[in-house]
């Protein structure tokens, strides 16, 4: 290991110091909840945010902690630094944290496709976290994370050859502004007869589309992220490129169409998954029922299938509607839900940080 504090931490047996950068943001808020709920592997937890938030007090592990301003000094003595900040802030500060001896665990898009930065989902590729020549580990995009644990489990058994996915992405994937926008739009359309004439919802919500390119209340919007080559959205290419990197399958066929839906939190995806080998629903059920981090919830006769309203606030990837494709004995159809702020962001970052903490404190 090349990380500065690692040897010292192992030597002294002390619990490692964690910095949470972006502690006051949407994901940061969920992160403090998660850190309070999980087994406490940390010594000091230092909360870091922009200078304008410095001095605020936030609660973590039942204690008030004062937020300090982002600076080089903030990483003094830090073993692991989580970043829940915009890409450009991570791009600048994660290498600084690494230079100060911390392992940076970054939840932005800044380093995900860097060949010298592992992209880690502990249930799928925890081993990759040890190879971090830049001292940085990336956390995948929330849409990829909402399905990849289940796909990793099926891949281990059947050998994945193709994914064709469509997303049903929640407003909170676009941050607090996304949630506020959806709630304000719902208030504007509730109690009306809107949604039956061309453009009536658009006129009612006016210019208040917030981070979305069209109204989201009483609507679905087939766009997330920025425009890339040949009509693809950045979100769709992230699902493709990140799935390949996490699964270690650089040639995996992956197609995604990303659509925003009027849900507050929890992304859903339909998945057509093709494998090297023939599959059965019974085998898939058994694998999913036993996979860490996955809940199989698949009994339509009893009304059992995952929906965002039931999955939100929980940690696992929920899987239902498992069917074998009628035209292809090697393919499965599935419906998958995952909380985009928990497993899709804060939880996976916390899990990566715990993998690093275990490594640093190993005798």
**Site for its own copies (CB under 8 A): which residue of 235, 298, 354, 359?**
298
**How many CB atoms within 10 Å of residue 207?**
6
Is 289 a binding residue for its own copies by CB under 8 A? The answer is no
Pairing of strands 18-21, 45-49: parallel
Is 196 a binding residue for its own copies by CB under 8 A? The answer is yes
CA–CA gap between residue 274 and residue 289 (Å, rounded): 20
169 assigned to a ligand binding site: yes
Q: Which is nearer to its own copies, 50 or 270 (CB)?
A: 270
Pairing of strands 80-83, 18-21: parallel
Assess contact for 314 and 342: CB atoms under 8 A. yes
| Element housing 65 (H / E) | strand 63-66
Residue in 5, 142, 155, 258 annotated catalytic:
142
52 assigned to a ligand binding site: yes
Active site residue 258: no
266's torsion region: left (phi>0), alpha (psi -120 to 50) or beta? left
Within 217-236, the residues that bind its own copies by CB under 8 A are 218-223, 227, 230-233
Q: How far is the CB of 54 from its own copies (least distance, A)?
A: 27
Find the angle CA(23)-CA(5)-CA(79) to the nearest 5 degrees. 15
Is 301 a binding residue for its own copies by CB under 8 A? The answer is yes
**How many CB atoms within 10 Å of residue 303?**
6
Assess contact for 163 and 254: CB atoms under 8 A. yes
173 assigned to a ligand binding site: yes
Is 293 a binding residue for its own copies by CB under 8 A? The answer is no
**How many CB atoms within 10 Å of residue 339?**
28
**How many CB atoms within 10 Å of residue 129?**
22
Both tokens assigned to 7: 């040897």
Q: How far is the CB of 71 from its own copies (least distance, A)?
A: 33
Spell out, one character per residue from 124 to 163, where the chain touches its own copies: x when CB under 8 A holds, - when not: --------------------------------------x-
CA–CA gap between residue 254 and residue 264 (Å, rounded): 27
9 assigned to a ligand binding site: no
**Site for its own copies (CB under 8 A): which residue of 50, 125, 270, 330?**
270
Q: How many residues bind its own copies (CB under 8 A)?
A: 74
**Site for its own copies (CB under 8 A): which residue of 135, 335, 352, 356?**
335
Residue in 5, 258, 267, 337 annotated catalytic:
267
Active site residue 142: yes
Is 306 a binding residue for its own copies by CB under 8 A? The answer is yes
Is 206 a binding residue for its own copies by CB under 8 A? The answer is no
**Site for its own copies (CB under 8 A): which residue of 116, 253, 276, 290?**
253
Residues labelled as active-site residues: 142, 267
């Amino acid at each position: 290991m090349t990380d500065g504090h690692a040897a010292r931490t192992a030597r002294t047996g002390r619990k490692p110091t964690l910095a949470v950068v972006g502690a006051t943001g949407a994901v940061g808020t969920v992160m403090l909840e998660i850190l309070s709920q999980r087994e406490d592997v940390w010594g000091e937890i230092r909360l870091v945010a922009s200078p304008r938030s410095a001095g605020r007090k936030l609660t973590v592990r039942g204690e008030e902690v004062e937020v300090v301003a982002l600076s080089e000094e903030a990483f003094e003595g830090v073993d692991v630094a989580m970043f829940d900040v915009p890409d450009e802030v991570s791009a600048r500060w994660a290498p600084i944290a690494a230079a100060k001896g911390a392992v940076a665990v970054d939840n932005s898009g800044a380093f995900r496709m860097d060949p010298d930065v592992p992209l880690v989902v502990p249930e799928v590729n925890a081993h990759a976290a040890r190879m971090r020549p830049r001292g940085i580990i990336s956390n995948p995009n929330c849409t990829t994370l909402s399905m990849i644990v289940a796909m990793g489990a099926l891949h281990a058994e059947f050998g994945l050859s193709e994914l064709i996915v469509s997303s049903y992405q929640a407003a909170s994937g676009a941050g607090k502004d996304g949630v506020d926008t959806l709630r304000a739009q719902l208030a504007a359309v509730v109690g009306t007869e809107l949604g039956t004439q061309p453009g009536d919802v658009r006129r009612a919500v006016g210019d208040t589309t917030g981070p979305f390119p069209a109204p989201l209340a009483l609507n679905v919007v087939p766009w997330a992220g920025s425009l890339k080559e040949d009509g693809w959205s950045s979100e769709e290419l992230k699902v493709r490129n990140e799935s390949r990197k996490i699964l270690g399958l650089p040639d995996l066929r992956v197609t995604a169409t990303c659509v925003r839906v009027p849900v507050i939190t929890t992304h859903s995806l339909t998945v057509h998954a093709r494998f090297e080998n023939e599959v059965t629903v019974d085998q898939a059920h058994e694998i999913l029922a036993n996979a860490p981090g996955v809940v199989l919830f698949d009994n339509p006769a009893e009304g059992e299938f995952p929906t965002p309203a039931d999955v939100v606030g929980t940690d696992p990837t929920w899987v239902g509607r498992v069917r074998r494709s009628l035209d292809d004995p090697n393919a499965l159809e599935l419906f998958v839900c995952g909380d985009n702020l928990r497993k899709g962001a804060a939880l996976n970052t916390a899990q990566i940080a715990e993998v690093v903490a275990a490594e640093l404190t190993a005798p």
